[in-house]
Structures are given as C-alpha cells and as structure tokens.
Structure 1
Amino acid sequence: MSQLNYLEKLLDGVEVEWTALGNEHAVEIANSGRKPVKAALRVAGETPYYGANNIQDYVDGYTHDGEFVLIAEDGSASLENYSIQYTTGRFWANNHVHVVRGKEVINTRYLYHYLCIVNFVPFLSGGGRAKLTKGKLVDIPLPIPCPDNPEKSLAIQAEIVRILDAFTAMTAELTAELTAELNMRKKQYNYYRDQLLSFEEGDVEWKTLGEVAKIQRGASPRPIAKFITDDDGGVPWIKIGDTETGSKYVEKTAQKITKEGAKKSRVLNKGDFIISNSMSFGRPYILNIRGAIHDGWASVSEFGDKLNSDFLYHYLSSQNVQNYWVSKINSGSVSNLNADIIKTLPIPIPCPDNLEKSLAEQARIASILDKFDTLTTSLQEGLPREIELRQKQYEYYRDMLLSFPKSHSDEAA
C-alpha cells in the first residue's frame, strides 16, 4: 500500500471536533512556573533555559519537568513561521514562551506538530514586537479526531505522530550522513593538496610570487557612489560580497562603475587572481570576468608563462600559505595582507629547466585536486538542497494529516 493511500485510509471517515487551547480538559497551560532570570544571575548547570526561539543557556535548577510544547509569547524570529518548540524532561522556561501540554485526550507530540501549521498572525497583538497574550492563546483552535472514542482518537494521533516523526528522523539522519561525508571529503582534499604540494629538495625551484607575477593593490575611486552605474557599458565592480565561499571563481558582480571610475580603480582581466587583504585575508579567487577591484583586494596577474592558474589557486588555498600570511602579519606592524607581503610568498616551480614539462606537471597536480574540490563543492551545494527537499516532504504530509475540515457549525461559531 502506498504512503498516500495509507494516509487516506487512516483518516477516512474520521469525525473531528474543534476545540481550543483553552479547553482545560484537553490542554494544560503551565505558565505559572515560568521564571525569567537575567544572564548575569543565572547559575550554570545542565538544564536548558528556553527563550522565545531556542535554548539560550544551560542553568542549574528547573521550572518544569515533563513533555511540553513551548509557544513564543513574544519575540518569535518569524511571524509566518511562528516559533514552536518541543521539549521533554527538566527545563527552565522564561516569560517569553507559553508552556502547554496535552492532557487526557491530546497527545502532546501531536499538539506540537499541529501547532507548527497554525497561522498565529490573527492572534497576535502589538506593533514591532508582536505578542501572543494568554487571552488570545486560549482561542487558538485545536482538532480532536474521533472525539466520541478517546482510545481511537489517541491511536490516530499517535499514528500521525509516528509518521511525521519518521520524516523528521529521516531528515536528521540524512543531514548527519551528508555532513559527515562532506567533512570527510574536505579532509581528503586537504590531505592530498598538502601531499601534492609538498616537494622534495631539488624537485622544484622556489621563486617568490613577486618574481613570477605582477602584484598590485586595488584602488577605489572616491566617492564611490558617484561612479556606480546601471549602464550596459559599465565595468563590473568586484566586492567581497560578489564572492562565494567554496567557489574559486568570480562570475558576476552586483554593481558596475563607470569607465571614468574604472580608470581610478584597478582593472583586471579574465584569468587574473584577486586575494582579499583585510576581511578573511588570503582567500584567492580567479576572475571569470573583466572587472575593477577596490583597495580591499590585491591582484595577481601576468603569471601565465610560468604558472598554471589552477595549480596556483590550489597552492594559494593551502594551509601552508595561509599560515605564511598569518606569520607575516603577526610579525610586523601591519594588520592586513598588503602587496609587499604577497610578493614575498615562496612559490614552487616544478621541472624548472623544462617549461613545457613544468606546466604539464602543474596541470596534472591541479587536475587531481580539482576532482576532489569538485566533489566537495557538489556535496556542499547538495546538502542544503537535500535538507530542503526532505523538509518540504515532511511539510506536505504534515499538512495532509493535520488539515482537518471544519464543520458548518464550527465555521458559524
């Protein structure tokens, strides 16, 4: 039997009674035990201290013990995707969450899953910091399947919980597996990169980067706002925000500057390198576009006759080079990676007496590392997509299982 047919059979002919969270026979509101404590006055311990959106701290003592659902009273990070938390055991609740749990006819975990689909916006009051008062909390509708048969009702609720928890567990397991795989691939890439870029004495000739390439600092036309343009003839203006973690290329920019502004900047060609010299300093990128760089970048160009660009990229990304940048900055009075430091970086040139053979060996090393890098990048990009897919699958079945029709009498009320 398919999952869909099974769900249809599970809910086929099931009557539903709509009640509200204020129904004391169905729901306990345990707000009286809440106790806010300022961070400076909290005693460190192992008990989770809950706020509106998540665990804020771990403290000694507790306010509640058992299975509960926490509903943001105010301060939810999102009003459309309202903050609902599930907890069991001992915990401490501050006054920014309502503390509720099911009683005789409501499974608390079922209550949690149902509240995750509730539109809370109509029940909120206040302006910038919307608030869910207890007076509105008690009006939130709650469906009870098979109200005349409590045993069957709880069985249906338990089965709904089992199905939805299975999707939740599947998502968590997949996330853990993909994250472990990603970390392994990163370590594997780093290992082979360091091995392939470690050379025995005599295998390579060491040159400084300044000897085999042109190193320059970027420049910013002032005031920059004067030179920003939307014209098709504008020159791409390359900023830190135009780079992507895990990518070795700059493909496009969010802004362009005028040709006049480009003359006051540093214009680079496709295939040139840029290296960040302040924020996240030392991170290299290859340009896949022609563009202008500001003084937060340094450029590396005119190296093609001696260096393969992919080989150079992997070498500049290696931990040894990152350590070199740190040592140079820490040993001097400068706080950024300037062009003079970049010029001093030792670069290995394999097979120095045979240029053709040297470039071929660089390309061979780069090809191996590119394969590991591509695999790592695909995993890194695929992880959020897989998680999003599983989350949408969970939400689809959750909505199917918990979107009960209202009777005409309920709608009239």
Structure 2
Amino acid sequence: MSRIDELIAEHCPDGVEFCALGSLGKRNSGTSITAGTMRKLAVDNGPIRVFAGGQTIADVAENAVRPTDIVREPSIIVKSRGHIGFAYYERPFTHKSELWSYTLNDPAIDQKFVYYFLLTQVRKLQDLARATSVKLPQLSVRDTDLLRIPVPPLEVQREIVRILDHFTELEAELEAELEARRRQYDHYRRQLLTFDIRTEWFALSDVVDYTNGKAHEKLADPDGQIPMVTARFISRNGEPNRFVRVEDIQTPANAGDTALVLSDLPNGRALARTFYVDCDNGYAINQRVARLRVKDADFVDPRFLYRVLDRNPGLLKHDNGVDQTHLSKSQVTGLRFPVPSLADQRGVVGMLEKFDALANDLSVGLPAELAARRKQYEHYRDRLLTFKELQA
C-alpha cells in the first residue's frame, strides 16, 4: 500500500477525475441465442466462448455465431440479469443479447483496473436491479453506461492491477487445491455409498414421509426471524437471504428433517442438493423444495438419509440437460433406497462428516484459509479502489 500511497501523493494528491463508463470505449451488443442452443452447440475447446447469465457459458465453433457478433479484444462482460456481476475475458467471445460488454480503448485507461473497480460496485448494482424488477433483477444499459469510474493516472492504475492480480493468483491456487480435495471427497463418498448385495433396498416412500414446501415469497419480511429454505439457501450450504415471521411458516421443519431441492436449470448444481435440519420450527420450507421426514429413526438414521440423497444419481438422471428439471413426488418417493444396519449407517455418516469438514468447513483447513484470503482480497480491493473525486 505504501507504493500506492506514494504514487497518489505524487500524481493526484487532490483527487482524481471520474468519468462515465460508457464514455471510456465501445459497448458491444450480443447475439440472439438461447441457453438450450448454447448447450447444443457446445464443443470441447471451442474457440468462441458464449456467456449467458450467472455462471452459464459454452465454448462453440467459429461458425456457430455470426462473425459480426464476435468480440476479439479483451473486454468486460456485464452479467445484467438475475445475479449481477462482471467477467473479464481476453479471448474471442460473444454473449446473449440481453447482456452487454465494454471494450475500453481510451489510452488513459487500464481496462483491468476498471474491471476491478466494477467488482466493488456489484452490491450496489444488485440492489438497483432488484428495485427495478421484483421477479428477476435486471440492469439497464443506462445503469452501467452512466456509472462513474475513477480515472487516476495510468501508473496508479497499473500498480493497483498488479497487486490485485497477485491476490487473484494466490486465491486461484487455493481454489485448485481445494477442488482437488473435493474430488477426492467425492471419490470416497461414492465408495462409502456403494453397498453390497446383502444390503436391503426399499422405495423411499417406505422409509420417509414426503411433504412439498409451500410458497412463502409473499410472506417474506425483513424483520422475520425464520430463514426461508430455497434452492439458493441449500446450494449455499444454509446461507439465508430471505426470512418470514414465526407465525407465517407454512411448511415447518423439525430437527432430523432433510430438505431436498426439486427444481433447477438444465445441468444445474442445485438439483437434488440436500440440507439437514438441526432444530425444530427453525426453518420455513419453500415451494420447489421437499421436506423428507424419516418414519422410524431406529431403522434409518436421519443423517444417513441426508447423505444418501444429496445429489443422488437416481434423482439426477431426470435432468435431460435441455429443459428445466422439476422432480415430481413420484420420482422422489419411488427412488430405491439402501438400508444397511443402523451401525453401518452411522459409520458411513461419521466418515462422510469427517471428509466433508476437510473439504467444506469454513472454520478449518483449506476452506478457512480460502475464506480468509478472499476477505483480505476484498478489503484491499475496496481500499485500493476508493478515490476522492477531483473538484473542478
């Protein structure tokens, strides 16, 4: 930071100029393509990357999109719908027409610097998008075109980019190591959940009571105390973002219940994810999530149910990769479910919980180190990219 402080003291002690993002270069429109078409056109190592909302991407052949829709210069992509965000991409690409991107060619601008600054604006833009559209958060082109960007001297921009690139590289190394550990965990999980011919199997309906969650969206209350269990809540390991009041719970959950995601986008990562309920009346099960309650805890350990159902292949097979998946009650309750001895069930659960902690527990090991690194990165990024505006 001392080097940055020295540069600012030397080059811009009184503040920096701010300019509208749209004035710093060219805004690129996208291509008319659907998510389904993207999946059909996807090829391994395709030279053109197509971006859609969220994390959806596809690599396609050169002739899969119109040449005039391809951007061949490093650019900043605006994820303008749903989860608002930005991507920086240096190879040839295009994106769906409801997205847009910027190629900044102003000689006074380091484009990567602008990208890093935009990351500090995501929360503000997400709030703006939610205020504009209740159903699906949506930014307008004007929202980003007019966004004011600090423009310190180029030397300052480049030093900030160098520092933040270094943080990003360190984080990427930890992410790669953690991903390798999670693959190892998945390998052992598959082994532990493979049962021999002596194991009895039952229809899931024989061992659990099934209840569909009810709609709580209209009951959401900023002063509510009870987290709403949605697909997002489960896929983020129990991170709440919407709440209801105790008296408004339509589908309560009790300790030992398993919540199961029933609906997701094609090839989504939330389908059939599970959440284990650890207290009575502490959660509200929302629509498109099922509540599963073990009928006899002396026959099936509730935690064993939670572990076996999580991303269960017998449920994931209903995702055809093209259409949105909606698991039906019959598809879930008709699943064949293994029931080894209670001692074996608890042994499997104990082993899986140890592996899970190593791969996912944010309080220990690599996950904790990665979380701390991200927090440190965001702190320095926000500090480095906060500038006083030069007064005319």
Following superposition, the deviation at residue 278 of structure 1 comes to 4.5
In the other structure, the counterpart of 1:394 is 381
Instruction: Kindly report which structure 2 residues correspond to 1:124-135, keeping only aligned pairs within 5 A, or say none.
Output: 130=142
Following superposition, the deviation at residue 143 of structure 1 comes to 6.0
Q: Scaled by the length of structure 1, what TM-score is found?
A: 0.55
**Residue 306 (1) aligns with residue 299 (2):** yes
**Residue 315 (1) aligns with residue 308 (2):** yes
Gaps of 5+ in 1: 23-27, 121-127, 145-156, 351-357
Given that residues 252 and 289 in structure 1 are in contact (C-alpha distance below 8 angstroms), is that contact kept between their aligned partners in structure 2?
no
**Residue 217 (1) aligns with residue 211 (2):** yes
Following superposition, the deviation at residue 195 of structure 1 comes to 0.9
Instruction: Kindly report which structure 2 residues correspond to 1:308-387, keeping only aligned pairs within 5 A, or say none.
Output: 308-317=301-310, 322-326=312-316, 336-338=327-329, 341-342=332-333, 345-350=336-341, 358-359=342-343, 361-378=344-361, 383=370, 386-387=373-374
1:224-265 CA distance string (max 9 Å, x none) = 799x598x9x99685425833153x69997224649x86xx6
Following superposition, the deviation at residue 370 of structure 1 comes to 0.7
Structure 1 counterpart of 2:337, which letter? Answer: P
SS in 1 for 2:106: strand
Structure 1 counterpart of 2:209, which letter? Answer: I
In the other structure, the counterpart of 1:164 is 160
Distance of aligned partners of 1:345 and 1:60 in 2 relative to their CA distance in 1, 3 Å threshold:
same
In the other structure, the counterpart of 1:178 is 174
In the other structure, the counterpart of 2:254 is 269
Given that residues 277 and 338 in structure 1 are in contact (C-alpha distance below 8 angstroms), is that contact kept between their aligned partners in structure 2?
no
In the other structure, the counterpart of 1:286 is 276
What is the distance in 2 between the residues matched to 1:270 and 1:60? 57
SS in 2 for 1:215: strand
Structure 2 counterpart of 1:389, which letter? Answer: Q
Distance of aligned partners of 1:349 and 1:308 in 2 relative to their CA distance in 1, 3 Å threshold:
same
What is the distance in 1 between the residues matched to 2:368 and 2:254? 28
In the other structure, the counterpart of 1:193 is 189
Distance of aligned partners of 1:257 and 1:181 in 2 relative to their CA distance in 1, 3 Å threshold:
same
What is the distance in 2 between the residues matched to 1:278 and 1:194? 23
SS in 2 for 1:274: strand
Structure 2 counterpart of 1:323, which letter? Answer: P
**96, 103, 106: which one aligns with 1:101:** 106
SS in 2 for 1:288: coil
**Is the radius of gyration larger for structure 1 or structure 2?**
1
What is the distance in 1 between the residues matched to 2:85 and 2:202? 59
Aligned residues: 330
Kindly, what percent of the aligned residue pairs are identical? 17
Distance of aligned partners of 1:403 and 1:294 in 2 relative to their CA distance in 1, 3 Å threshold:
closer
Q: Scaled by the length of structure 2, what TM-score is found?
A: 0.57
What is the distance in 1 between the residues matched to 2:338 and 2:8? 69
What is the distance in 2 between the residues matched to 1:19 and 1:241? 43
Distance of aligned partners of 1:343 and 1:268 in 2 relative to their CA distance in 1, 3 Å threshold:
farther
Structure 2 counterpart of 1:374, which letter? Answer: A
Given that residues 113 and 157 in structure 2 are in contact (C-alpha distance below 8 angstroms), is that contact kept between their aligned partners in structure 1?
yes
Given that residues 69 and 86 in structure 1 are in contact (C-alpha distance below 8 angstroms), is that contact kept between their aligned partners in structure 2?
yes
Following superposition, the deviation at residue 305 of structure 1 comes to 0.7
**Residue 243 (1) aligns with residue 240 (2):** no
Given that residues 47 and 60 in structure 1 are in contact (C-alpha distance below 8 angstroms), is that contact kept between their aligned partners in structure 2?
no
Given that residues 250 and 289 in structure 1 are in contact (C-alpha distance below 8 angstroms), is that contact kept between their aligned partners in structure 2?
no
In the other structure, the counterpart of 1:123 is none
What is the distance in 2 between the residues matched to 1:392 and 1:100? 29
SS in 2 for 1:182: helix
SS in 2 for 1:244: helix
SS in 1 for 2:175: helix
SS in 1 for 2:174: helix
Following superposition, the deviation at residue 187 of structure 1 comes to 1.1
What is the distance in 2 between the residues matched to 1:310 and 1:336? 22
SS in 2 for 1:217: strand
Structure 1 counterpart of 2:302, which letter? Answer: S
SS in 1 for 2:293: strand
Following superposition, the deviation at residue 316 of structure 1 comes to 1.8
Structure 1 counterpart of 2:304, which letter? Answer: F
What is the distance in 1 between the residues matched to 2:317 and 2:91? 49
What is the distance in 1 between the residues matched to 2:85 and 2:217? 39
What is the distance in 1 between the residues matched to 2:217 and 2:25? 56
Distance of aligned partners of 1:201 and 1:170 in 2 relative to their CA distance in 1, 3 Å threshold:
same
What is the distance in 2 between the residues matched to 1:338 and 1:270? 22
In the other structure, the counterpart of 2:267 is none
1:26-70 CA distance string (max 9 Å, x none) = xx9887xx9878658xxx9968999xxxx999864799999x998
